[in-house]
Amino acid sequence: MGLRAYTTSLSEAWQDFSFRRWSASLIDRSTPENDAAALRRHFSITYLSMRMVLFLLAFSMPVVLVHYGDIRHGLDFQSSMSAYFWAAQTPEQCATFPMRTIFVGYLFAIGVLLFAYKGLTGLENTLLNLAALCAFAVAVYPESLGIEEPIDAREAQLYETCEAVWLWAKAHANLPTTKIHWIAAVLLFGLLATVALTCAKDSLKYLPQRYNPGFYRYMYSILGVLMGFFWPIGVFIAYVFDLSEHKTFIIETLGVVTFGLYWSVKTIELSMSSLEKNPVLAVKLEQERMQN
């Protein structure tokens, strides 16, 4: 399958999101046609929408944190995404931590979608549910803050601006829960990498014979490896562009972008196999592939 065919498939997958169709649906009171195929297509859009929202959440999260935080609240570019939980530029912002709700909201939205999405196999479903729990844990348990010298410059500024944060950091310094944030984050990407490497290929047997499943096996393998080992790439980018202060943010961005790419590829693959829109046809195509 060449680049042109892949681009065509991407265009077809996005047809359900055309503005004209969306705007017309806002006031449309008619039900789907009294036809089994039309009804299956109608309900399959739920899964399509969930994957597209996961894709959009992943790609928009770093952009919104950085630019909305800067434009709306005057916040500096933080060293990591997790740092936006505590980000405060003025004493007044210590009362609300203006980007905390957005950071936590993104993680909960991703977690809910991962939990609601049902994998094709029991293993895939279990891994996605565990990944969802990890996303919730990352949101609920904030990153730990250092109290021992030398204190990081960002944290020193935060303690000076928000005295209550310094008191919180001292009170939680020796608690075992301080490690949950980063452990959950590592497990989240590890679980998703496992899905890409071991489970994503299970649906390829439903592809029509005119499509090459090897292309998608290759894509899922690459994305799985990237989700598992994106951190050295992030360190390299930070070093090359002299952004060592923000290397954690770059590493996290690479992780969520790879996560988003996985869901875009999965959407395209499933749109080509008709597994959701017409499962009867998909099973028939699988049988034809096995016979040949």
Give the model's pLDDT for residue 35: 65
pLDDT digits (tens, 9 = 90+) for 145-195: 888 776 778 888 888 999 998 888 888 877 777 789 999 999 999 999 999
* pLDDT tens track for 219-234: 999 998 888 788 888 8
Which of the four pLDDT bands, split at 50, 70 and 90, describes residue 2?
A: very low
Specify the residue for token string 């169709």: 21
What's the number of CA atoms in the CB half-sphere (13 Å) around residue 189? 24
pLDDT of the residue at 56: 94
Q: Please give the average per-residue pLDDT across 93-101, as a whole number.
A: 92
Q: How confident is the model at residue 60 (pLDDT cuts 50, 70, 90)?
A: very high
Structure confidence by residue, pLDDT tens digits, 194-214: 999 999 998 888 888 778 888
Average model confidence (pLDDT) for the chain?
84
pLDDT band at 1 (very low <50, low <70, confident <90, very high): very low
Phi, psi for residue 88 in degrees, rounded to 5? -155, 125
79 vs 249: CA distance, rounded Å: 6
Structural tokens at position 158: 């935060």
Q: What does residue 235 show for φ and ψ, rounded to 5 degrees?
A: -65, -40
Name the band, by pLDDT with cuts 50, 70 and 90, for residue 140: very high
285 — pLDDT class (breaks 50, 70, 90):
low
CA angle (66, 149, 79) in 5-degree steps: 10
Domain borders along the chain are 36-291
DSSP label at residue 14: T
> What is the predicted pLDDT for the residue at 148?
79
